[in-house]
Amino acid sequence: MEFDAVFIGAGHNALAAGVHLATKGWSVGIFECNETPGGAIRTEEVTLPGFRHDLYATNLGLFAGSAFHADYGETLAKRGLAFAPAEHCFATPTPSGRWFGVSKDLEQTVARAAALSEADAARWRTMLAEFGGDAPHLFALLGSPMSARALARVGWKAWRDKGTAWMLDTARLLTASPRAFLQENFESEEIRATMAAWGMHLDFSPDIGGGALFPYLESMADQSFGMVIGQGGADTMINAMVAELEAQGGTVRTNAAVAKIEASGGRASGIVLADGTRVSAKKAVIAGVMPAALVDSLLDGGTGNARYDRGARAFRHGPGTMMVHLATSGLPDWAANEDLKRFLYVHLAPDLDSMARTYTDAMAGLLPAEPLLVVGQQTAVDPSRAPEGQHTLWIQVRTLPATIRGDAAGLITATDWSEAGEAYADRVVDIIERYAPSTKAKILARHIETPADLERRNPNLVGGDSAGGSHHISQHFLFRPVPGWARHKTPVKDLYLIGAATWPGGGAGAGSGYMLARALAGG
């Protein structure tokens, strides 16, 4: 077999890149070790028939707002891509019964803020108004290739439009911790907690520098545009991209593990599958794998560049994640307010200190006594995912150790996830029960995936890290995945790396795949 471009892994970045290259006349072959394409975007009936669960990623807001979707959205819609919008985005209740939530309707959000603090309600309005002018420049940075020329262009335009003071304020935001940013802007602990929870999605506990940006962007973007999930399941985007790629003549092969990359004379020329099949690449080999896997498993002897290989092996993964999927007879009866049933996400992390303790415990190898829970109520937005009148709950448990050294609560003695998983899932359900009594009585079936299960199902989720590697400043922007190699190239000619481990990082935005494809195809 021979293709212009050969991809290792059929994650959404590979599919987006493949669609663009095929549209530009390239022959494309994508080879995936699992039985279905999509990587960490996968929907299955893992509890009971008729209950469709997004196994991993569920929020498709980044994809809906991506450059790739802007160019290919109409085409993909014809292939079946459909979104279910969420007007009520995310909320955080506290044990005291006080709560805050962000809805697309500004007046609803501001009224909730005012019930906590009139000053915070005014600050929310002001921050949203400022976001309207800031967003084009921030998103231009986050969507820009990490090259000196591209960054200079983005910086010049921002300076010309906003001035030096804004540039300094933005630099401060990019380096601030969530706690510093939130304490400076809001006095309500509930609002601070509601926003800070987003930092934990990308390995930022409240006191880590550089963690303020994501809580700010997610909060303001959701306030402005709402959130979206896939109609019927997140796999709607995967199915649509596969269909379009195949319509363009591309090939997607599943159950096709790649054993090695063939390279000689400093150039990648193809791959060898686990069954011995050789696949030639005339123009590019594009790997959607973790950096260490590239240099230690797929390339004999690494890339030949000692600095790159050392950096790839030192690539830092974030803490683990556990998924608990429930089929239920009804949504949780949230004690804080019945309105919480309408929200797509309910974060259970009542304050900044509890998040900090959870993160510290996980990094020390301890099972946190009170992990952050992201309770996804997808069927509140998209009832088609479950039988009429019934529901799914998507529970993401953050942050957890990949290797267990003990239990912060002193109750679970097992130190292997195969033995500790069910007991820890019980802890998760107990926490939800405290916030929403009678939840246990509504559970019809349960499916869990521990950090070890996540890595077994998808080797890119190392230690259960669902974000594709830490996003701390030392491993982001120009430093992702290796300093000096943030433009998806590797030291091996015609060999490229894409995916969450590369710029612009985690999330279902197709950023790295589309960025590389446009560079290869000349636009």
User: Average pLDDT for residues 126-147, to the nearest whole number?
Assistant: 93
For 40-189, strand residue ranges (E) read: 43-44, 53-54, 83-86, 88-93, 99-103
- Say yes or no to pLDDT of 51 above 90: yes
Task: Give Cβ neighbours of residue 142 (< 8 Å, ≥ 6 apart).
Answer: 504, 511
Is the distance from CB of 423 to CB of 341 less than 8 angstroms?
no
User: Average pLDDT for residues 387-402, to the nearest whole number?
Assistant: 97
Instruction: For residue 201, name the pLDDT band (cuts at 50, 70, 90).
Output: very high
Is the distance from CB of 110 to CB of 121 less than 8 angstroms?
yes
- Say yes or no to pLDDT of 328 above 90: yes
Angle value at C-alpha 210, between 205 and 212, nearest 5 degrees: 70
The pLDDT value recorded for residue 289 is 98
Q: Residue type for 375, please? A: V
Taking the C-alpha atoms of residue 504 and residue 510, their distance in angstroms, rounded to an integer, is: 9
Is the distance from CB of 226 to CB of 104 less than 8 angstroms?
yes
Taking the C-alpha atoms of residue 254 and residue 31, their distance in angstroms, rounded to an integer, is: 6
What is residue 73's DSSP assignment?
A: H
Is the distance from CB of 369 to CB of 411 less than 8 angstroms?
no
Mean pLDDT of the chain: 97
The pLDDT value recorded for residue 523 is 84
Q: Which two tokens stand for residue 206?
A: 């409240």
Alpha-helical regions (H) of 330-373: 352-363
The pLDDT value recorded for residue 74 is 98
Q: Which two tokens stand for residue 303?
A: 């890339």
pLDDT in tens, 403-427: 999 999 999 999 999 999 999 999 9
Q: Residue 233: left (phi > 0), alpha (psi -120 to 50), or beta? A: left
For 18-65, strand residue ranges (E) read: 28-31, 43-44, 53-54
Q: What percentage of the chain has pLDDT greater than the value 70?
A: 100
Helix (H, G, I), strand (E, B) or coil at 481: coil
Distances (CA, A) of 3 to 18, 60, 203, 235: 11, 30, 38, 26
Q: Lowest-confidence range among 37-41, 77-81, 139-143, 175-179?
A: 139-143
The β-bridge relationship of strands 267-273 and 43-44 is unpaired
3-state secondary structure 313-333: HCCCCCCEEEEEEEEECCCCC
The pLDDT value recorded for residue 245 is 98
Taking the C-alpha atoms of residue 469 and residue 10, their distance in angstroms, rounded to an integer, is: 19
Q: What is the residue whose two structure tokens read 């009429």?
A: 388
The pLDDT value recorded for residue 432 is 98
Torsion sign over Cα 327, 332, 338, 343: negative
User: Average pLDDT for residues 164-182, to the nearest whole number?
Assistant: 96
pLDDT in tens, 366-380: 999 999 999 999 999
Q: How many residues in total does the chain contain?
A: 523
The pLDDT value recorded for residue 481 is 97
In CATH terms, is domain 2-39+64-83+233-316+469-521 a member of 3.50.50.60?
Answer: yes
- Say yes or no to pLDDT of 186 above 90: yes
pTM: 0.96
User: Average pLDDT for residues 111-128, to the nearest whole number?
Assistant: 98
pLDDT in tens, 439-488: 999 999 999 999 999 999 999 999 999 999 999 999 999 999 999 999 99
- Say yes or no to pLDDT of 59 above 90: yes
Is the distance from CB of 513 to CB of 505 less than 8 angstroms?
no
Q: What is the crossing angle of helices 118-142 and 148-162, to 10°?
A: 140
The pLDDT value recorded for residue 345 is 98
pLDDT in tens, 148-158: 899 999 999 99
Phi, psi of 396 (to 5 degrees): -100, 125
Torsion sign over Cα 206, 211, 214, 217: positive
Q: Which two tokens stand for residue 142?
A: 């986050």
The pLDDT value recorded for residue 148 is 87
User: Average pLDDT for residues 248-272, to the nearest whole number?
Assistant: 97
Is the distance from CB of 504 to CB of 142 less than 8 angstroms?
yes
Distances (CA, A) of 449 to 9, 402, 422: 21, 13, 9
